[in-house]
Structure 1
Amino acid sequence: VYNWWMLLAIVGWTIIAFKFIMKVHAVRRTWDRTVLKIPLIGDLVTKVAVARFARTLGTLITSGVPILQALKITKETISNEIIQDAVDKVHDSIKEGDTIAAPLDETKVFPAMVVNMIDVGEETGNLDAMLMKVADIYDAEVEAAVEAMLTLLEPAIIVFLGGLIGFIVVSLYLPIFTLGDQISGM
């Protein structure tokens, strides 16, 4: 490749443009919504967000931080705007005197098991302990999902690298073979 620097510049500018585009609120929301709908990736992103939400909120409640302030802090730890909106709805609902579980269920972002466990935690007065259990469960699920993805990705990487090496070998030997044909044709 003669103009390798141009290829490098195009890749660099594409990355920079993507970062700037992602700062636009509407684009970011659309991107986050799309990511949540991707079959394997969306499930993993949701599990990571739920684990982070539960761990952070549980830790803050255990430390004695008021629930509304804890929800504001927890919202800032979540990178997906769709899930942040769900936490915002919970915050607004609690401000009006509702429970945590009801608005979580309405958002349809959090899995039913999480909503049920939080509901039980609220009813028994052990919300912080229940949030920590949710975080532990989802941390384990995230770890298992990542291991499964890596297990599936390994053969794909091997096939890709094999194809790349095969392409390089063919591109190196093809000129030699054509040169041999030209010499024998003389």
Structure 2
Amino acid sequence: MKKILVLALLGLVGWNAFGRPEGAEYFYPSGGDSHKYTFRSTTGFYIHAQRGSLSSTFGQHATLTHDETVTIDGHTYRKMVLRHNSPGTKNRVTYSRLGKDGIYSRRSSELTSEEYLELPLPPKIGQKWRYQVGKEHTESEIAAIESVEVAGKTYHKCLRVNSWGTVDGMPAYSVTHYAPWVGMVKFASTVGGQEFELALSQE
């Protein structure tokens, strides 16, 4: 009996280790977690980040939580909610799931919502992909795997994703860093000549 239990346990460990695609550690961790970010912006206009919308009028902090799962069209998505510390602002919701070949996201739980590939897996330097959400066109590339320092802490083996396209009809360029077992640690963007930065806080 003990031998059977040991074999079953080993089988479960093996399934968890090999049943997930390589690079899955860049997906946000299990439910109940939240991340706090600080940001700066040179504009009062809205600037759309990959997981939310911010402007300089929102204050200095935002919190991204992912403690709920939702089933959409047979797939299980993690509900990402970006909450701002400024009263009267609207939370931004994104739904993301881990697929066999990448991390997929959508802006709504409605079946008509367009799903797009946010990050292909396994991640390879030089890999490029394109997607469209509404009228927004984006082309992205995994540019490097590198260390990045945020709020006095160094995150190693981060994926650096460069993206360019359009936001609200304006040209946009961004650099996003994803750390293993953490997710997004830094997002810097230029939209229509205005700069924006969102960085993980240690508070």
Normalised to the residue count of structure 2, the TM-score between the two structures is: 0.23
- Structure number with higher helix proportion: 1
- Structure number with higher strand proportion: 2
